[in-house]
Amino acid sequence: MPKLKRSESDERATDFVESLDRGLRLLQCFGTNAGPMTLSDLARAAGLPRATARRMLLTLQYGGFVSGDGKLFSLTPHVLTLAASYLRSNQLVTVLQPVLDRVATAANEISSLAVLDGDDVVFIARGGPARVFSSGLEIGYRLPAFCTSVGRAMLGQLDDIELLERLKRMKREALTPQTVTEPKALLARIVADRVQGYALVDREAEPHFRSISVPVRRYDNVIVAAINMGAHVDRVPAKELVVRFLPLLCEGAESVGTQLL
């Protein structure tokens, strides 16, 4: 009798390493509080039995990712090697870092690169003028995609039906009095942004900040990221974002398409 071929879902289920998944979930739970956390707090946050969480923490401690005295546990700087590996191996960062630096120098403002991660955007690179950074979004900073210019620039790749369904499923909490949260209103704005080729968000993600973004497309025209520039509302008017910043961002995004696989 011929051997039945396993389906892809069966293979994923068989290959799934539950202990690794639990350990990674436990690492992520440290970000829920500032400072050391107790075993009970971590187990509760990760949804794990206390004994299981303890074994995971001891394993992570052995690997140098966690420090603890048996009662309180903290992440160690060794955790940053995971982020460093991502940044060193990420083609987007390698290709776009010179672009961010060039754009930032030309505008004398900070520029950033972001990607989608679920319903959030994550900033993975930034460029700045020669002066020391004094403000701006740090690498690793997360924001909801629906109310950010980088998020809307990337979400515009979805067709209207898929986009509306995704917006409805998202957690859409107002971050400022100006935040648009109604799905159909968001759809209309993102569709308009898609047509004009850029997204401008004014005080929706942060109360005194406005930003402008353009999508970054790889060789086959698929949007894989977005680059942006922004400024405090008292310092840079919205019109200046379009007149001065937008051409720099468009030139930068268009210059890398053939380099991205």
pLDDT of 131 > 50? The answer is no
Residue 59 contacts residue 24 (beta carbons within 8 Å): no
Q: Which residues pair with 212 in a beta bridge?
A: 200, 229
pLDDT digits (tens, 9 = 90+) for 102-119: 999 999 999 999 999 999
Nearby residues of 95 by Cβ (< 8 Å), 6 or more positions away: 256, 259, 260
Which of 39, 55, 79 is the last residue before a domain boundary? 79
Q: How far apart are CA 174 and CA 77, in angstroms?
A: 34
State the number of CA atoms in the 13 A half-sphere of 202 facing the CB: 10
Query: Given this model, what pLDDT does residue 183 score?
Result: 98
Nearby residues of 155 by Cβ (< 8 Å), 6 or more positions away: 116, 145, 146, 163, 166, 167, 190
Residue 82 contacts residue 63 (beta carbons within 8 Å): no
Instruction: For residues 159-168, give the mean pLDDT.
Output: 97
Token pair listed for 239: 């019109």
Q: Which of 33-37, 45-49, 88-92, 183-187 has the lowest mean pLDDT?
A: 33-37
Do 35 and 130 belong to one domain? no
Q: Which of 176, 185, 183, 172 is nearest to 145 (CA)?
A: 172
Do 40 and 99 belong to one domain? no
Residue 2 lies in a domain: no
pLDDT digits (tens, 9 = 90+) for 18-38: 889 988 999 999 977 778 999
Query: Given this model, what pLDDT does residue 136 score?
Result: 53
- Confidence label for 134 from pLDDT (cuts 50, 70 and 90): very low
Residue 3 lies in a domain: no
Query: Given this model, what pLDDT does residue 130 score?
Result: 61
Residue 84 lies in a domain: no
CA distances from 61 to 23, 45, 64, 151 (A): 11, 18, 5, 36
Query: Given this model, what pLDDT does residue 84 score?
Result: 87
Token pair listed for 150: 């980088």
Angle of helix 183-196 relative to helix 160-169, nearest 10 degrees? Answer: 140
Count of domains forming the chain: 2
Sheet-wide strand order for 223-232: 142-144, 120-127, 111-117, 223-232, 209-217, 199-202
Token pair listed for 242: 């379009």
Do 148 and 219 belong to one domain? yes
Do 74 and 95 belong to one domain? no
Do 67 and 108 belong to one domain? no
Query: Given this model, what pLDDT does residue 1 score?
Result: 43
Instruction: For residues 205-224, give the mean pLDDT.
Output: 96
Do 124 and 250 belong to one domain? yes
Q: Which of 16-20, 135-139, 225-229 has the highest mean pLDDT?
A: 225-229
Q: Which of 137, 107, 136, 112 is nearest to 125 (CA)?
A: 112
Query: Given this model, what pLDDT does residue 201 score?
Result: 98
Q: Which of 87, 114, 119, 90 is nearest to 230 (CA)?
A: 114
Do 252 and 177 belong to one domain? yes
Residue 1 lies in a domain: no
Instruction: For residues 152-171, give the mean pLDDT.
Output: 97
Do 234 and 193 belong to one domain? yes
Supply the range of the domain harboring residue 182.
90-259
Instruction: For residues 180-197, give the mean pLDDT.
Output: 98
Query: Given this model, what pLDDT does residue 137 score?
Result: 64
| SS3 category, 163 | helix
Which bin fits 203, alpha (ψ -120 to 50), beta or left (φ > 0)? left
